[in-house]
Structures are given as C-alpha cells and as structure tokens.
Amino acid sequence: MMTLFIESKDNDIKDRWNPATSMMTPATDEIHLWCAHVNLPRIWLDYFRKVLSEDETLRAGRFVRSEDYNRFIVSRGLLRYILGRYLNTPPGDIRFEYNPFGKPECADTHHENPLCFNVSHSGDRVLYGISNQRHIGVDIEKICFMENQDEIVNRFFSQQEIEDYKRLPESLRREAFFNCWTRKESYIKSWGKGMSIELNTFSVSVRSNMTEESILLNDTDGRSEHHMTIRSIPSVDGYVGAVAVEGKNLTYRFWNWEFPMS
C-alpha cells in the first residue's frame, strides 16, 4: 500500500512538518511526531480493522457513534502501522501492554525495542509521539468555543496559570486556554499516571510562540528534576498540540501522514 508524506506549509515556528523517506528508530536525542486525518475512505477503514487485536475489536464495538468507532479503528490501526514500520514487524503482530493507568506501551515481546510512544486524538486528527526510551506524552485539541472556559480555568489551572491567563486581553484567551490545556495534558500523559497527578502542582506558560525551555514553568512536586521538556507542535489548521518528553535540547521531527484517497 502506498503512503505519502507531505511537507507542511507551516511557517509559524522554526520546525516544520517535513517529508520523510524512511522510518528509522529515533536517535536518543530525537523525537518523532506524526499527525494524520482520521476521516478516511472505506478501503483504509477495512484495512485497519483487519490489523486490530481481539480486545481492540471488542473495544471498538462498544462505541455507539459511528464517528467514534471509525476514529478508534483508524487511530489504533495507524499506530500499529507506524510502529510496525519502525519495528520492522507486521502491524497485526504488534503487542501492547497497559500500565495500571491505561497507558499503552509496546510489549516486551518486541525484543530490544527502544520505542516509547503516546497518542492523542481530537476532532478528525490524531497525533503520535515517538521517542527512543524517553517518557513521552502528546496532546492535540480542536480549538472550539467553550461556554465554561473561565470556570475550567479556575477549577483546573494553577494559581500562576490563572493569573497569566487573566492578564491577557479577551481576544487571546481562547488560544491561551488551549495552549495551557494541551501542555498540561501532554505533561500528565508523559508520566502515564492519569489524573493521579494534581493539575495545580505544576505550571506551564499559557502564551503562544514560546520556546520549549520556557513552557514548563515549575513543578512543586519536584518532578521537573527529571528534566522534562514541553513544547508546542507546529500549527495544524484549527488545532493546538503539545508534546512533553523526558530530556533537554532534543531534536524534533514532524511529519504529516497523508493517505491516497482511493
């Protein structure tokens, strides 16, 4: 099956969505990010359905809405396809294990496998982050109007984030909200402990166009001593995203995954 890798037209920050020629295991200081659409022609849905495991097929069958069903099939199927290319393993042979909080990882059966990954989906996009033995978390959110935005800020953001958010003019607050949300979520997901990490025990910048060094402002629980980095992904139409990863001074590579439409 042919796959196309398309260069992004993003110019907002120095990193761009790039063309790719091969899928090599990332170097230890390299982070790979993949972004894809989940609304695909039937042929792809049928292909991905066939590579899912029994438990994944059961899980898919529990979705009531067809768009949720399709989104799960494509995002999980494509995850298998991408990991399979890195591991040189057929997508259907990939085995996952789950930590006690539900974070999927490659099972030990993939010998000497150094890959860590994380997945996020929102709207019709899915984002994958892949590292070489580094804890990683990703989050993507479709920017939308939220009636209770200020209420969520007051409830979930840290004191510093609340103050920074409220200092911004109204016109910048929606973007600030999604910046903060995705950065916090990616950080939580990198630790893989779900909501057992309290959201107000660390602060991130709410501003756009930040450098990675200045996004994680502090972590009062001392987790930042592990030298975590949080950064935004290049812009995707109508979406905001972030990646949190263990380490500093890393190199990020971004790819769009585009499917032939027939």
Ligand X SMILES: CC(C)(COP(=O)(O)OP(=O)(O)OC[C@H]1O[C@@H](n2cnc3c(N)ncnc32)[C@H](O)[C@@H]1OP(=O)(O)O)[C@@H](O)C(=O)NCCC(=O)NCCS
Binding site for ligand X (CB under 6 A): 72, 75-76, 101-104, 118-121, 137, 139, 156, 181, 184-185, 188-189, 192, 194-195, 199
CB nearer to ligand X: give 18 or 160: 160
CA 1/CA 25 separation, integer angstroms? 21
User: Min. distance of Cβ 231 from ligand X in angstroms?
Assistant: 16
Identify which of 221, 222, 204 has the alpha carbon closest to the alpha carbon of residue 213.
Answer: 204
User: Min. distance of Cβ 102 from ligand X in angstroms?
Assistant: 4
CB nearer to ligand X: give 16 or 168: 168
CB nearer to ligand X: give 28 or 196: 196
Residues 6+ apart with CB under 8 A from 65: none
Task: Give the CA angle between residues 123, 210, 241 to the nearest 5°.
Answer: 15
CB nearer to ligand X: give 102 or 222: 102
CB nearer to ligand X: give 44 or 72: 72
User: Min. distance of Cβ 11 from ligand X in angstroms?
Assistant: 26
CA 152/CA 181 separation, integer angstroms? 10
CA quadruple 37, 38, 40, 44: dihedral, nearest 10: 110
| Alpha-carbon separation of residue 220 from 23, 31, 114, 191, 224 (angstroms) | 38, 26, 30, 15, 8
User: Min. distance of Cβ 146 from ligand X in angstroms?
Assistant: 12
